């Protein structure tokens, strides 16, 4: 189809087409004529990775007229071993968010290790960024709908690694937001002891993604992430957690009741939850999910294996989830006691009708997957079930068990290749006019 024919379509249809196009295709289309550029560019720059170069382009440069089209901003170049440079860039980026009046989504990136200092550094870094955003861009910050706190763990360790702890200068993040006067903020020694309550949080978020080393979904005030979640408990619709969950499980008494239940938030508006961990899924997680997120429609849990011991072939798997009466789609680990072992497929097939009988009558899609083989030499296997309604009856359509390891390998390769400076970012990107935008 020629560009002339395409441009003759109604504007609403054109915009719908462009929303589905890749950035590469949009970029190529924008070069056809001034009119195609007029249509394509606003969509092309909806999602950008902010850098010092892109700030200059939008702040009086060649892209100044497109500032209002930017809706998603991701921090760039902060995934490095130079912590002081990451702090400097975070300050520059946070100061510059006010350039984009219609930003509704922000991704704050940080590289760190897994020591206690790294965990403290992560909290201080986010606290500083939050404070700057609240002071410099109060309207944008207050109206944010989506936030991604992306703390990446390094895959390698170059010569020197991270700077020594005593060389890290936090003061750039806590200087006065208007004049950057070092005397206007706390000293480097004072910053780690400041309370989490001093940070200013967005409270209207509908989507949050958290990637970190260890995550504890505990009471407000335990850390930046848990405080942010608690404050957005009444607005949050989608939550993604990419972390090890040793400290996530809620403490319970001998009868299974939560201790100090009032200190933990319930998320009545949350509809989609995805949890991925590099470790085994700990017992008790699913009961916590049911109590904290009672109105879930979509649930995905990913890990090495589910260590739950099942009593026999007649047991209903994942019975803890029966309280999620609105659940429509679920993707879970193929349950089994040890790595590479699992219950039989027949037991899974017997469990799904029992889920329906026990209240999950809105269920439409179920998928179980498992890693098989050894720790280092494994493959992935998946089996799906579609639930179709026929009046008051249900038909359960099971697919064949599928080996999905090839697709998994390609995804992981792509994941590593798209990182910045060797760091995995999880983003696929494209560059134009010195600005990186997200696929």
- State pLDDT tens for residues 310-344: 555 566 788 889 999 999 999 988 776 544 455 67
Phi, psi (rounded to 5 degrees) for 182: -55, -30
Give the separation between CA 270 and CA 236, rounded to whole angstroms. Answer: 5
What are the residues facing 258 on neighbouring strands? 252
Other CB atoms within 10 A of residue 13 CB: 10
DSSP assignment of 374-398: -SSSEEEEEEEEEEEEETTEEEEEE
Pairing of strands 329-333, 47-50: unpaired
Residue 370: which of 300, 322, 315, 302 has the closest Cα? 302
Token match 């099971």: residue? Answer: 398
Give the separation between CA 297 and CA 303, rounded to whole angstroms. Answer: 20
**SS3 call for 371:** strand
Q: What is the pLDDT along the chain (439 residues), one digit of tens a residue?
A: 555 676 677 777 777 777 777 777 777 777 777 777 777 777 788 889 999 999 999 998 888 988 999 999 999 888 777 888 888 999 999 999 999 999 999 999 988 877 788 888 888 899 889 989 999 999 999 999 999 999 876 555 554 556 555 677 777 777 764 455 544 555 555 555 555 566 789 999 999 999 988 787 666 557 888 889 989 999 999 999 998 876 455 566 665 556 555 557 889 999 999 998 877 777 678 888 998 999 999 999 987 765 555 555 566 788 889 999 999 999 988 776 544 455 677 777 888 889 998 999 899 999 988 766 555 556 677 788 899 887 778 888 888 766 655 433 333 323 233 333 333 333 344 444 444 444 4
Chain CA centroid to CA 240, Å: 5
Cβ proximity of 290 and 327 under 8 Å: no
In this structure, what token pair is assigned to residue 267? 């998320």
1-44 CATH pick, 1.10.10, 1.10.3470, 3.30.70, 1.20.1280? 1.20.1280
Token match 């100044």: residue? Answer: 64
Say which DSSP state 402 is in: E
Phi, psi (rounded to 5 degrees) for 74: -120, 130
In this structure, what token pair is assigned to residue 404? 């999905």
- State pLDDT tens for residues 345-392: 777 788 888 999 899 989 999 998 876 655 555 667 778 889 988 777
- Work out the angle between the directed axes of helices 116-136 and 224-231 (0-180°, nearest 10): 40
The alpha-helical segments, DSSP class H, found in 294-398 are: 345-357
Q: How far is CA 131 from CA 135, 208, 323, 372, 423, in A?
A: 6, 18, 39, 46, 27
The alpha-helical segments, DSSP class H, found in 59-137 are: 83-96, 116-136
Write down the pLDDT at residue 437: 43
Give the separation between CA 409 and CA 248, rounded to whole angstroms. Answer: 29
Residue 210: which of 152, 148, 267 has the closest Cα? 148
Cβ proximity of 81 and 160 under 8 Å: yes
Residue 374: which of 402, 339, 405 has the closest Cα? 339
Give the separation between CA 124 and CA 102, rounded to whole angstroms. Answer: 27
**SS3 call for 128:** helix
Token match 């009961």: residue? Answer: 287
Cβ proximity of 320 and 358 under 8 Å: no
Give the separation between CA 124 and CA 17, rounded to whole angstroms. Answer: 43
Give the separation between CA 15 and CA 1, rounded to whole angstroms. Answer: 16
Domain locations along the chain: 1-44
């Amino acid at each position: 189809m020629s560009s002339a024919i395409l441009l003759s379509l109604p504007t609403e249809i054109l915009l719908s087409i462009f929303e589905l196009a890749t950035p590469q295709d949009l970029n190529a289309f924008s070069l056809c004529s001034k009119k195609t550029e007029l249509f394509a560019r606003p969509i092309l720059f909806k999602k950008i990775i902010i850098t010092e170069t892109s700030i200059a382009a939008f702040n009086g440069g060649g892209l100044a007229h497109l500032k209002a089209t930017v809706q998603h901003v991701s921090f760039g170049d902060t995934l490095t071993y130079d912590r002081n440079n990451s702090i400097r860039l975070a300050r520059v980026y946070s100061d510059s968010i006010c350039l984009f009046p219609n930003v509704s989504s922000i991704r704050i990136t940080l590289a760190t290790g897994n020591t206690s200092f790294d965990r403290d550094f992560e909290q201080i870094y986010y606290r500083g960024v939050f404070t700057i955003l609240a002071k410099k861009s109060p309207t944008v910050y207050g109206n944010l709908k989506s936030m991604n706190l992306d703390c990446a763990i390094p895959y390698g360790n170059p010569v020197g690694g991270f700077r020594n702890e005593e060389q890290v200068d936090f003061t750039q993040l806590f200087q006065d937001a208007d004049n950057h006067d070092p005397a206007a903020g706390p000293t480097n020694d004072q910053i780690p002891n400041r309370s989490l309550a001093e940070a200013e949080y967005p409270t209207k978020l509908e989507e949050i993604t958290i990637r970190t080393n260890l995550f504890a979904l505990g009471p407000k005030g335990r850390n930046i992430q848990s405080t942010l979640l608690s404050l957005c408990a009444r607005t949050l619709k989608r939550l993604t957690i990419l972390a090890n969950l040793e400290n996530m499980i809620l403490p319970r008494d001998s009868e299974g009741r939560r201790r100090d239940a009032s200190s933990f938030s319930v998320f009545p508006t949350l509809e989609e939850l995805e949890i991925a961990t590099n470790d085994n899924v700990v017992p008790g997680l699913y009961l916590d999910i049911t109590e904290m997120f009672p109105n879930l429609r979509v649930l995905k849990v990913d890990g090495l294996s589910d260590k739950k011991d099942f009593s026999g072939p007649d047991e209903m798997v994942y019975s803890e989830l029966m309280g999620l009466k609105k659940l429509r789609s679920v993707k879970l680990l193929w349950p089994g006691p040890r790595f590479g072992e699992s219950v039989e497929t027949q037991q899974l097939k017997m469990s799904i009708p029992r889920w329906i009988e026990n209240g999950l009558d809105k269920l439409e899609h179920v998928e179980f997957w498992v890693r098989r083989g050894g720790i280092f030499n494994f493959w992935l296997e998946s089996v799906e079930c579609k639930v179709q309604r026929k009046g008051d009856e249900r038909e359960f359509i099971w697919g064949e068990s599928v080996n999905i390891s090839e697709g998994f390998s390609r995804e992981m390769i792509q994941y590593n290749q798209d990182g910045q400076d060797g760091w995995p970012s999880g983003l696929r990107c494209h560059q134009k006019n010195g600005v990186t935008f997200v696929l």
